[in-house]
Amino acid sequence: MAEHSLRLLQRCLALTAAGLFVIGTAMADLPAHAQSAPSGIGKLQPGTYETSSGTSGLPKVKPSFVGAWGASAADCENAEDFYINTIVSRMRFLQYEMECRITAASPIGSTWILALACAKEGEELDTLARLTLEDANRLTVELRDGSRQTLHRCTGPIPAAYRSVLND
């Protein structure tokens, strides 16, 4: 599974670098020239890490996307329903009813492409996410299924049940 995630990530990185990758777009829907990786971009870029083999591959500096993110300040402040927010650590991505392990990640400027191994509503799936830090407190999350959200960093206290996730 990790090898599949890495191949998928490599292809998406190549298309993103060429300005052609849109999450939610099937490869067959892309023009023929966009379906193959440009030369020299077929390998994971410096700064890439894999998390499937423990902590040895984790970046030494905490990525900028790590944190709790909500659609609004009210969502961030609601401790009882905090699960509706998006929680991202170096190793996990939690969003409403989806819990994912980040199997590989690679930065491209202020954007990170994440390969995810997820469980959602009792089903397992491998997918991708593109996280773009718009500024220090705004994150745009695009999932492979085409969904897109701009979230705001939760700056207040985070419930104890979620703090441990952020320390992964």
Q: What is the pLDDT of residue 14?
A: 53
CB 23 within 8 A of CB 115: no
Q: CB neighbours of 153 closer than 8 A, spacing ≥ 6? A: 67, 68, 69, 136, 137, 138, 139
pTM of structure: 0.67
Please tell me which of 43-47, 139-143, 161-165 the model is most confident about, judged by mean pLDDT. 139-143
Please state, rounded to an integer, the average pLDDT across all residues of the chain.
74
Q: What is the DSSP string of 91-118?
A: SEEEETTEEEEEEEEEEETTEEEEEEEE
Q: Distance (Å, rounded) from C-alpha 64 to C-alpha 138?
A: 11
CB 1 within 8 A of CB 118: no
Is it the case that residue 16 has pLDDT exceeding 70?
Answer: no
CB 144 within 8 A of CB 129: yes
Could you identify the residue written with the tokens 């993110």? 69
The candidate with the shortest Cα–Cα distance to 39, out of 18, 69, 65, 58, is 18
Task: Quote the longest CA-to-CA distance of the chain.
Answer: 50
Mean of pLDDT values over 112-135: 93
Indicate whether 29 belongs to any domain.
Answer: no
Q: Distance (Å, rounded) from C-alpha 9 to C-alpha 104?
A: 8
Rounded to 5°, angle at Cα 145 from 141 and 148: 30
Could you identify the residue written with the tokens 């400027």? 109
How many domains is the chain built from?
1
Indicate whether 114 belongs to any domain.
Answer: yes
What's the domain range around 92? Answer: 46-166
More confident residue, 37 or 81: 81
Query: Which region among 37-41, 66-70, 81-85 has the lowest average model confidence (pLDDT)?
Result: 37-41
Indicate whether 36 belongs to any domain.
Answer: no
Is it the case that residue 5 has pLDDT exceeding 90?
Answer: no
Q: What is the pLDDT of residue 38?
A: 31
Please tell me which of 35-39, 77-81, 132-136 the model is most confident about, judged by mean pLDDT. 132-136
CB 13 within 8 A of CB 44: yes
